[in-house]
Structure 1
Amino acid sequence: MTTQIAPQDNPTRVVAIAREQTKKRRGRPKQLLLGFAGILTLLLIWEGAARVGLVDSRFLPPPTEVIPAFFTILTFGDFWIAMGTTVLTWGIGLAVALVAGTVLGVTVGLSPFLRRATHTTVEFLRPIPSVALIPLAVLLFGAQMQAALLLILYASFWQIFIQVLYGVADVDQVAMSTGRSYGFSKWQRIRYIVFPTMLPFLMTGLRLAAAVALILAVTAQLLIGTPGLGLEISKAQNGGQYVTMYALILATGMLGVLINFGARALERWQLSWHESVRGEIPA
């Protein structure tokens, strides 16, 4: 998005903004090249370690074997079913966490009494690892999708809830008082004052939660045996098909990259008005 320069901006600021935008445009191809260089370096190290015997190539096949296997599994229907199940589990868990974390975050954040009353409980529950709930999930749901959803919801909820709390706490109380004096209802104050202030925090929480949700989805499939990519990885490992196993791991990593790109694109779209996205230099 092109930055609009207000007429009152002084010449120094105009030049500074123009230089910053030019620098960013020139820096994008460089960042892309650095990213590819990093991946290529990792693959070369991996290949070399497997070929010279630093690691046992039976258990860590070189990428020249794994990458062709990756493209081969893309032609299998079972792979796409497992991929779809993983994405579905991830999406449902993340969506529920987003709604619950946003609603509860705003409700608690706007009430000083609720913030004080829930502080100790939040600080007690938040550090508990989601994987510690695996026995409970198995007892409740067995090897079903609901078990993975429980872990995803628990882990992702805190990412969003805490960020929303920070966002609500950042609301300008003068603006809230002004809204009351103009007769804004509580919903209008939330819609026009709280939400715009909270949105950057919410998008950060959503981006973090999206990555955590994928991690927990695959973890549940690996350890509990719920359907998805994690279960296919476990089957390949148990069957001694290590090349296929690493190809599936590579597919999981690619899915994570796509989710991260999607989350960042959503963040840029929703925050196109925000200074952090527009890239303006502070006065």
Structure 2
Amino acid sequence: MTTSFVSDLITAPSGAAARLRRVVNGPAVVFGAAILLIWMATTETGLVGAAVLPSPAALGTAFVDLVGSAVLWSAVWATLSTWIVSLIIAVLLAAVLGVLLGSSAGLYRAVSGLIEFFRPIPSVAILPLFLLLYGATDSTKILLTAYTAFWPMIVQTIYGVLGTDPVLKDVAATLNLGPVATRWRIALPSALPSMAVGFRIGASVSLILCVTLEIIVGMEGLGREIFVAQSSGATDRMHTLIAVTGLLGWGVNALFQRVERATLHWHSAHRNGPR
């Protein structure tokens, strides 16, 4: 009995250990450590030249130097400020137009062809048009980034409104709710989970497009700094900036997931656990 008690005491996770296990993704840590070991082995043995892939130590030094310089933070702010303004524009347009189109079958049928025509066009393909109209300015970057974010947002909003429970529509009709009240009190709350997915996708792809524009056109931001580092042969700086861009994208997605869980905690997908 004593042996069984001691065994249970050792194997039973403490409160702190259980919380740590929920926070730390064990398989991800193991996978990351394996990648790091392979990376160190390939650079130390010379299988991959430093001009192509610097060692982890070299990247660590470059990262410390960048964090302490104003160049990095100026580039991050240039990218983030443009992305935030673009996202606000896309969210407002997608929410208003998506609810309007999704709650009117006739109107949706009238414009669905236009949506399906413009939605698959890559944003980079219409970059020359925006450059002709606005030149290599912040207006081009903001509008094209907003254009990229807009399509997944409006499509998910329309589908969310179209998927409104018919029972709720019957309740709205029984209560004699007008069109505006029905859209605001019935259609919009029903579409919120679908809209949240569209907003998260739109935020990610628009951030990618924003950095891509900075690389192609040379606009101020992380993309331009990556291109300058590559052109000058500063491979360690280039890889560090790429890593910073990846961390920025990861942080944006994590932030949206946290906001989504906090605001849509009533939805079954979040009651059953994080996605």
TM range (shorter): 0.7 to 0.9
Structure 1 position 53, deviation (Å): 3.4
1:151 Cα deviation after fit: 2.2
Residue of structure 1 in register with 2:3 after alignment: none
Q: How does 1:10-29 map to 2 (within 5 A)?
A: 29=22
The percentage of aligned residue pairs carrying the same residue is 36
CA contact (8 A) 2:103 2:183 kept: no
Cα distance change of structure 1 residues 109 and 28 upon mapping to structure 2, 3 Å threshold: farther
Q: Does 2:72 correspond to 1:56?
A: no
The alignment yields a C-alpha RMSD, in angstroms, of: 1.9
Shift of 1:279: 1.1
Aligned in 2, Cα 1:28/1:259: closer, same or farther, shift over 3 Å? farther
- Residues 141 and 210 of structure 2 are in contact (CA less than 8 Å); yes or no, is this contact kept in structure 1? yes
CA distance in 2, matches of 1:138, 1:76: 31
Match of 1:127 among 109, 120, 124: 120
Aligned-residue offset at 1:28: 5.2
Is 1:201 aligned to residue 194 of structure 2? yes
Q: TM-score, normalised by structure 1?
A: 0.85
Match of 2:185 among 189, 192, 215: 192
Aligned amino acid, residue 137 of structure 1: F
- How far apart are 1:27 and its partner, in Å? 9.5
Q: How does 1:97-116 map to 2 (within 5 A)?
A: 97-116=90-109
Unaligned runs of 5+ in 2: 1-17
Equivalent in the alignment of 1:148: 141
Runs of 4+ displaced beyond 4 Å: 25-28
Matching residue within 54, 58, 75 for 2:68: 75
Matched, 1:258 2:251: yes
Question: 1:277 aligns to what?
Answer: 270
Query: Is the Cα–Cα contact under 8 Å of residues 215 and 223 in structure 2 kept in the other structure?
Result: yes
Asked if 2 retains the 8 angstrom alpha-carbon contact of 1:85 and 1:228, the reply is yes
Equivalenced residue count is 257
Distance in 2, Cα, partners of 1:37 & 1:220 = 35
Structure 1 pair 144–38 and aligned structure 2 pair: CA distance change class (3 A): farther
- Counterpart Cα distance in 2 of 1:182 and 1:162: 29
Bigger mean CA deviation after superposition, 190-199 or 172-181:
172-181
Letter in 1 for 2:269: S
Gaps of 5+ in 1: 1-24
Give a deviation string over 1:147-174, Cα, whole Å, max 9, x none: 2222211211111011001101111223
Is 1:163 equivalent to 2:118 in the alignment?
no
Which amino acid letter does the alignment assign opposite residue 104 of structure 1?
Answer: L
Give the Cα–Cα distance (whole angstroms) in 2 for the partners of residues 38 and 206 of structure 1: 30
1:142/1:41 CA distance change after superposition, 3 Å: farther
